[in-house]
Amino acid sequence: MRLLTDIRPDADFSASRDFLKDGMLDSFDLVALVSGLDSRFGIAIPGVEIVPENFGSLDAIEALVRRQLARR
Amino acid sequence: MNLVFEAGRITGNLVVLPETEQRFEDDMVNFDFPRERSLKLKEVMGYDRHRIAGERTCVSDLAGFGLRTLAERGLLDVASLDALIVVTQTPDYWIPPTSCVLHGALGLREDALCLDITQGCAGFIVGLMEALQWLRQPHIRKVALVTADVLSRRISPKDRNSYPLTGDAAAITLVERAEPGVQVHGCLKFDGKRSAALQIPAGGCRLPSSPETALLQDCGDHNLRALDHLRMDGTAVFNFVMNDVPPMIEALLAAAGRTRDDIDYFLFHQPNRFMLRKLAERLQVPYERVPDWVTGTWGNSNSVTIPAALAGTLGAGAQTNRYTVCFAGFGVGLTWGGLVMPLERLAFNDVVDYREP
């Protein structure tokens, strides 16, 4: 969540059920988020995983990170 | 489609950059985004500086300067050119072709062939393939491939997604008849169904430019663009690059009988650092062999980025060393393609600044 609020300090993520549909993250915010997750968790999220369904909610983001951690 | 060429090789490469440099921090005042968000983007995408041509500078000015520079340095006798190919999406005029403008300005022979190709990010690949095809003709021994664009003219300065990464430039790449036995493998693909992913809606015959098409509008993402400006569906383009480009490169390497380790450098089109690093990861190639610095230093100059990466990464080393490189371009069209070829003993591989008159 801290990564998200670093990228969009003006957005209330807790009030959203879908960050992208609610306009809280645009494609360039996704780039910043992926870069932050890569360096924070020491992973390299594949480009093909950078799709809206993996970034719509905290659960989806967490599942994505867990998949990448499991692949290490 | 897989293609094989046997007739030519690159013998020289010169990049021309307008001397005016803009910095991302200066661009930021035009964006409707908080400063912190823009700075974060700068860090991730590798934005820093980009070269912008003066308001009156056209493609033929940049390219003509490059060709004259080569002549003055004794590196090119323009009378020896058998063909001139110009790849651009920002021609001097609708009519005539920019290659003909240059032909006249340089005083080329009447039997020196001229061709304009309307292509963008993959334009260097398409133009180089055309040059290699022409070199199969018995009377064509030397082709000047010009890639050039002043695309900043068609990007809104209030578009944070596109303006800070855009650069203007030209490159002159000489392609000459090779000794028998030099084989170059290529691959070229198109998907016109996705052509709207990168589009300038107005200015052509479909929607001529008018006062209405020049009006800036908020496209719903805090970026202000007019219909006369480039519109890029960033998500669609990113997905295209991640899904379609790696299989093309893998198939190209297989067709060429090469592995990733045989390639010294993957000299790709330069959309931004983030995308190139994700591409390198997908291809399992170290970042060092996939140069990604061009957009942050000179800007993304459309079809010029590959010769720019060649000049700026290998520099004079290409005059003495031998490399096997994989070129790849991907974008407008949508078009994606690549070439695997040897590079050795280039007569020049340099960069020059263009001074506005």
Is the pLDDT score of A23 beyond 80? no
Helix (H) / strand (E) containing B326:
strand B322-331
Do A28 and B282 count as a contact with CB atoms less than 8 A apart? Answer: no
pLDDT-derived band at B230, boundaries 50, 70, 90: very high
Do A31 and B242 count as a contact with CB atoms less than 8 A apart? Answer: no
Most confident of A25-34, B214-223, B266-275: B266-275
At B146 the pLDDT is 98
At A21 the pLDDT is 80
Arithmetic mean of pLDDT, A11-17: 80
Angstrom distances, CA of residue B211 to CA of A64, B153, B164, B201: 47, 16, 25, 14
- Poorest-confidence range of A23-32, B79-88, B141-150? A23-32
Chain B residues in contact with A52 by the CB 8 A cut-off are: 235
| Distance of alpha carbon B60 from alpha carbon B146, whole angstroms | 10
- Poorest-confidence range of B39-48, B99-108, B228-237, B291-300? B39-48
Secondary structure of residue A17 in the 3-state scheme: coil
At B47 the pLDDT is 86
Q: Which amino acid is at A65?
A: V
The total domain count for chain A is: 1
Asked if A28 has any chain B CB less than 8 Å from its own CB, the reply is: yes
At B25 the pLDDT is 87
CB proximity list for B151: less than 8 A, separation 6 or greater: B89, B90, B166, B168, B230, B301, B302
At B356 the pLDDT is 86
- Poorest-confidence range of A5-14, B110-119, B160-169? A5-14
Chain A residues in contact with B41 by the CB 8 A cut-off are: 28, 31-32
Arithmetic mean of pLDDT, B128-154: 96
pLDDT-derived band at B93, boundaries 50, 70, 90: very high
Asked if A52 has any chain B CB less than 8 Å from its own CB, the reply is: yes
Arithmetic mean of pLDDT, B255-262: 96
What's A34's domain CATH number? 1.10.1200.10
Do A46 and B238 count as a contact with CB atoms less than 8 A apart? Answer: no
| Distance of alpha carbon B75 from alpha carbon B69, whole angstroms | 9
Is the pLDDT score of B247 beyond 90? yes
Q: Give the mean pLDDT of chain A.
A: 84
Most confident of A8-12, B23-27, B56-60: B56-60
| Distance of alpha carbon B58 from alpha carbon B8, whole angstroms | 29
At B169 the pLDDT is 98
Q: Report the residue of chain B nearest A4, measured CA to CA.
A: B37
CATH number for the B1-357 domain, one of 3.30.950.10, 3.40.47.10, 3.40.190.10, 3.40.50.11540? 3.40.47.10
Which candidate in B43, B278, B279, B287 is best for mutational testing of the A interface (most A CBs within 10 A)?
A: B278
Q: Give the mean pLDDT of chain B.
A: 94
Which candidate in B24, B36, B40 is best for mutational testing of the A interface (most A CBs within 10 A)?
A: B40
Torsion-angle region of residue A42: left (phi > 0), alpha (psi -120 to 50) or beta? left
Of B3, B55, B45, the closest CA to residue B24 belongs to: B45
Is the pLDDT score of A8 beyond 90? no
Kindly tell me the sign of the dihedral angle through the C-alpha atoms of B173, B176, B178, B184: positive
Do A50 and B242 count as a contact with CB atoms less than 8 A apart? Answer: yes
Of A17, A11, A4, the closest CA to residue A57 belongs to: A17
Asked if A50 has any chain B CB less than 8 Å from its own CB, the reply is: yes
**Could you give the angle at which helices B234-256 and A27-41 cross, rounded to 10 degrees?**
60
**Could you give the angle at which helices B305-314 and B123-134 cross, rounded to 10 degrees?**
90
Do A47 and B278 count as a contact with CB atoms less than 8 A apart? Answer: yes
pLDDT-derived band at B85, boundaries 50, 70, 90: very high
Is the pLDDT score of A4 beyond 90? no
Is the pLDDT score of B23 beyond 80? yes
Report ipTM (2 d.p.): 0.78
| Distance of alpha carbon A64 from alpha carbon B298, whole angstroms | 35
Asked if A27 has any chain B CB less than 8 Å from its own CB, the reply is: yes
Asked if A60 has any chain B CB less than 8 Å from its own CB, the reply is: no
Q: Report the residue of chain B nearest A50, measured CA to CA.
A: B239
Chain B residues in contact with A44 by the CB 8 A cut-off are: 281
Beta carbon pairs, A and B, within 8 Å: 52
Arithmetic mean of pLDDT, B243-255: 96
At B262 the pLDDT is 96
Q: Report the residue of chain A nearest B43, measured CA to CA.
A: A32
At B109 the pLDDT is 97
At B324 the pLDDT is 96
Do B241 and A31 count as a contact with CB atoms less than 8 A apart? Answer: no
Arithmetic mean of pLDDT, A18-32: 81
Residue A31 has its nearest CB partner, among B44, B221, B279, at B44
Domain containing residue A63: 2-71
* Chain B residues interacting with chain A (CB cutoff of 8 angstroms): 34, 36-37, 40-41, 43-45, 160-161, 221, 234-235, 238-239, 241-243, 274-275, 278-279, 281-282
Kindly tell me the sign of the dihedral angle through the C-alpha atoms of B255, B258, B260, B263: negative
